[in-house]
Structure 1
């Protein structure tokens, strides 16, 4: 049955393909010189030469698709009555062959090695097309790599066809090299980094049978330290003892980074951030970071140190911080010291964290001063598959934290947050993004909960359109009183216009309650607005204007937010 394609014409001719099997016609049109229609062929001889070249390509494509007995031909219809000449390709595919036998051949000498695909758990489909055979051969090669043959390689492959039965035998040819075990890493290129630290990150035991996937995991661990601008890990030459040393070539990154950021909002005023990072302080992956942030309502300084623990596949961290808050709800000065462990799983996407924190705060409100002391043990589980910190285009982020507090008061807080986005249209012209969060406090009473441990909503990172902490209940002087629980969320639609410009429309919502567990029937506060994002190489510069819905006497008519990065 013929499967015709729409005629594709140049100024001097027409061309058509007939009889191509389903799914193959479009591929033939792509490789056809005449079907592209990008050149002129003013004479019949020129058209015939081009058609013969296409026939050769079509015959190769038929065999690659598993139609070993297929053939192609063409007819040139001369021009008549001022019509253009036309080339009609006739495809005679025949029957698609099936592979009924798979043979494994090794060109080098060696001990007993796997000889069939079943031994390597490689699935077969009997398809005779080149892509299927290639995938099966590469899967078998991967099996060899992961079962003791670090230097295994593909030599070639071929199919032996039986034209009487429309069946074929696939022949895969390899060299396996000697079977090997893991040897010691041989490290080069380090300057400040201690080689013993690089070696301790290996993912195998010496003398263990070689597995390429473990070597790849070792590469990933080195790359994810952030210490190196170049990482190359490969198997060396297998020794007579059967050990294969692992060659590690590294190039260290610059060890210090200094950065800054600025922001502005009508709720928090101008803001700024300065940070400094010193990597690999003692040569074992230790990182020191110092960060200073400031706005009209909040100023903080934080110093943190992290150190990898290769033996545990984890990281130790410690930090100290000072925070000064001047808000309508309270004024507070807090000092805290934290230490703990974190570990990443599932290709670094899942992180678990546990810590112990000591903190003290001096909280003042309405002329009353209160000093609090707490010991807490925050536990967190975080999932992050986003591809960019400032402007993620794919992935999902979620977190769940539980923090028991002991000291001036005993209570437990828990929070769940999530955010993601989808893209629509050609070149992802439309982005729909959303975030949501729930928070709860399990305490004896609302009044006993310190003001700086209550939940609030409102502001650039919460419900836009309302003042900082003001999307919730207020006292008689219009000051926020906070709550033991919170619900908040946002939806935003972003549309690309010109290359570096993106417009956004959004709606945010939030609710704060004095109850321990958030309730969806409490009063919600809604804000809506529009914004523009100018896309730069370091991230989008964002400017939003937002308005409160159901505006109260104390609420401003609008709020403006300017910052670096998407809101979520």
Structure 2
């Protein structure tokens, strides 16, 4: 190229030379078409020789005519008779084993970032179990994994990171290939400036406090998304029910490897609670599937919902834990919804804020809550069963109509069947009676018990008021007060080794009451905290005269977690009957010790003094102690335990002459409580006591 330029510079034609000028005037462009010197410099056209003619081709030898195609001369077959199915009779189809190859997977660069486990959990190569039909399929999976690796890098702030893949045959191993995913993360980006925009100072400050992002910290997608979710939760909890979080913007600087984060926010008006509104939602009617070839069955018309059977605004006002004018808090609105769902009256309940477009005295917008009610199934059939040594097999079945007398008037009929106890009872309970979680109940029934300690046929009727904990709101203080009238015909202790046990009639009136202070963390399966219970029941017994006395019980339970899998649980109980002798009290109202909920290792009511026929007599006081270690792994658990107890014939509890039992139990944890199986034996067993005691029930022992 250099020589060519040089030659051109030497052979510049005259028309391209700049004209001479004495005064160095600027060069003027010359049109070659009108330049005589340019025409003279061109060679004459007649001196240009034409190109040589191509050589004549040799004469071709005479060709032989191809043989005639007789098949082509035949008429085409009609299309109607053409069979498009290919003949595979002679085709070689590779078997499944021949079509499959195996491959290994190697990941480079993610382990040091702590991302390899997450990568492999969703990897296409690993999901294929290292088998494929051919190399192309392995390469396709590798490409998907490259895209996955780059997404993971970006999610952790490595925005310049790149990934690549190779799929190569393994030498000397036919049918084997090696897939390698290589990752180069590059620099990690951190947060630069962090800003919440578009809202007044107060909600902006709330949002910024809820946003756990710090300048200089790595830009991680999970942290950003979690922080924005916290903002969306925090604002409705602090007076802004209509707040909307916009689309974030992160501006990256590839020089400083930082990203400026901004979050637009539409906070809406600051609001306070107003009143409640309600409406009834109609059912959707459900799906109406049909089998192939059959017509769909016509849907049954839905019965209209009677508004009188649902909750009025007056009854709804029992549930809120807020007052009109309180700052809006979405947690309290959700608590209202959960409490309504817990009644069992509704299939679903929606609680949504409604702007009334009016202002309170403090300038906040008044917001009502719209409660949308959708009727649910009101009838329930339930059952439970258990077994205990000395108690036998026992099962209970109950039928409940939760809204037979609206609102929340429930009728329950229960049946008890077992080897040693049978009964029938009914109760009417009005839930949330004038106050949330307060229940008024009337109950009555018949029970026949045939235990070693007594044989009783009992009629009872009672009434009680209670304030109880629920799974939604576990209260620290709960209480129950009531009244009972009991008529019972009972056989008590035997007076001699061979005679019949005397049968006596008792009429008993009682005023039972109970207070519980609960600082545990769970109603059904506590793992930490403690509970303190006090129970007292003043009673009067009429049998050949009037006799008054009081039955009292105090109990403390505690739960201490040890590590993540073990809970150390303990229980101490003392009970006493004051004001009467043992003979003045019906056998079924005395104190007994032993069984799955008492001192394990002994049969039901087995521990303590015996009569002339070796039957438990009951007592006037008791002491019970228990400790167990609850080890849980997944949905299963193992529980070794050690129990102690005594039954006294006087009214004063004590710790002398304690009896002991030890054993081990298994647990299967369900969403309604643990299924318990305990096996125990008494220590220093006495004649007539069980060698092995077995207990099967639902719920922990305490």
TM-score under structure 1 normalisation? 0.76
Q: Which residue of 2 aligns with 1:413?
A: 552
What secondary structure sits across from 2:340 in the alignment?
Answer: helix
Counterpart of 2:403 (choices 275, 280, 290) is 280
**Deviations along 1:340-368, whole A, 9 cap, x unmatched?**
23043783233612313344566764549
Alpha-carbon contact 1:264-1:270 (below 8 Å) kept = yes
Is 2:142 aligned against 1:17? no
What secondary structure sits across from 1:378 in the alignment?
Answer: strand
What secondary structure sits across from 2:247 in the alignment?
Answer: strand
Alpha-carbon contact 1:185-1:248 (below 8 Å) kept = yes
Cα 1:404/1:270, change in 2 over 3 Å: closer
- Mapped to 1, the partners of 2:269 and 2:667 lie a distance apart of 61
Alpha-carbon contact 2:411-2:426 (below 8 Å) kept = yes
User: Shift of residue 198 of structure 1?
Assistant: 2.9
Alpha-carbon contact 2:527-2:559 (below 8 Å) kept = yes
What secondary structure sits across from 1:344 in the alignment?
Answer: coil
Alpha-carbon contact 1:20-1:91 (below 8 Å) kept = no
The residue correspondences of 1:79-228 to structure 2 (distance < 5 A) are: 79-82=170-173, 85-106=177-198, 114-116=203-205, 120-125=209-214, 126-183=217-274, 184-189=276-281, 191=306, 192-196=309-313, 197-206=315-324, 208-228=326-346
Cα 1:359/1:486, change in 2 over 3 Å: farther
Alpha-carbon contact 2:239-2:272 (below 8 Å) kept = yes
Q: Which residue of 2 aligns with 1:553?
A: 687
Alpha-carbon contact 1:409-1:449 (below 8 Å) kept = no
Cα 1:40/1:548, change in 2 over 3 Å: same
Alpha-carbon contact 2:206-2:235 (below 8 Å) kept = no
Please list every run of 5 or more consecutive structure 2 residues that lacks an aligned counterpart in the other structure.
Answer: 1-100, 282-304, 360-364, 496-501, 540-546
Q: Which residue of 2 aligns with 1:356?
A: 482
Cα 1:155/1:310, change in 2 over 3 Å: farther
Q: Which residue of 1 aligns with 2:71?
A: none
**Deviations along 1:239-290, whole A, 9 cap, x unmatched?**
4775544333322233333455666667345645343323223322222323
Counterpart of 2:615 (choices 455, 473, 479) is 479
Cα 1:321/1:511, change in 2 over 3 Å: farther
Name the stretch that deviates more: 151-160 or 302-311.
302-311
Please list every run of 5 or more consecutive structure 1 residues that lacks an aligned counterpart in the other structure.
Answer: 1-9
- Mapped to 2, the partners of 1:144 and 1:536 lie a distance apart of 36
Structure with bigger gyration radius: 2
**Deviations along 1:497-542, whole A, 9 cap, x unmatched?**
xx9xx99998774522327676555331437699999x99999999
User: Shift of residue 157 of structure 1?
Assistant: 1.9
User: Shift of residue 131 of structure 1?
Assistant: 0.8
- Mapped to 2, the partners of 1:558 and 1:471 lie a distance apart of 14
Alpha-carbon contact 1:379-1:401 (below 8 Å) kept = yes
User: Shift of residue 432 of structure 1?
Assistant: 9.8
Q: Which residue of 2 aligns with 1:524?
A: 659
Is 2:554 aligned against 1:439? no
- Mapped to 1, the partners of 2:655 and 2:117 lie a distance apart of 54
**Deviations along 1:24-68, whole A, 9 cap, x unmatched?**
22223344434555453845x776665444333322221211223
Alpha-carbon contact 2:599-2:624 (below 8 Å) kept = no
The residue correspondences of 1:398-547 to structure 2 (distance < 5 A) are: 400-406=532-538, 408-411=547-550, 413-416=552-555, 436=571, 438-441=573-576, 443=578, 450=585, 451-459=587-595, 461-463=597-599, 466-483=602-619, 484-487=621-624, 489=626, 509-514=643-648, 522-526=657-661
Is 2:416 aligned against 1:293? yes
**Deviations along 1:195-216, whole A, 9 cap, x unmatched?**
2323542344445543221211
Counterpart of 1:233 (choices 330, 348, 351) is 351
- Mapped to 1, the partners of 2:264 and 2:689 lie a distance apart of 76
Cα 1:66/1:206, change in 2 over 3 Å: same
Higher relative contact order structure (alpha carbons within 8 Å, sequence separation ≥ 6): 1
- Mapped to 1, the partners of 2:165 and 2:384 lie a distance apart of 66
User: Shift of residue 129 of structure 1?
Assistant: 0.3
The residue correspondences of 1:24-103 to structure 2 (distance < 5 A) are: 24-34=115-125, 36=127, 38=129, 39-40=131-132, 42-43=134-135, 50-74=141-165, 79-82=170-173, 85-103=177-195
Alpha-carbon contact 1:70-1:94 (below 8 Å) kept = yes
Counterpart of 1:338 (choices 446, 463, 469) is 463
Cα 1:270/1:162, change in 2 over 3 Å: closer
TM-score under structure 2 normalisation? 0.63
Cα 1:311/1:211, change in 2 over 3 Å: farther
- Mapped to 2, the partners of 1:75 and 1:36 lie a distance apart of 18
Aligned residue pairs total 542
Alpha-carbon contact 1:178-1:238 (below 8 Å) kept = no
Q: Which residue of 1 aligns with 2:374?
A: 251
- Mapped to 2, the partners of 1:262 and 1:232 lie a distance apart of 36
| Structure 1 or 2: more strand by fraction | 1
- Mapped to 2, the partners of 1:292 and 1:42 lie a distance apart of 66
Alpha-carbon contact 1:149-1:176 (below 8 Å) kept = yes
Counterpart of 1:379 (choices 515, 520, 541) is 515
Cα 1:519/1:128, change in 2 over 3 Å: farther
Alpha-carbon contact 1:509-1:525 (below 8 Å) kept = yes
Name the stretch that deviates more: 219-228 or 31-40.
31-40
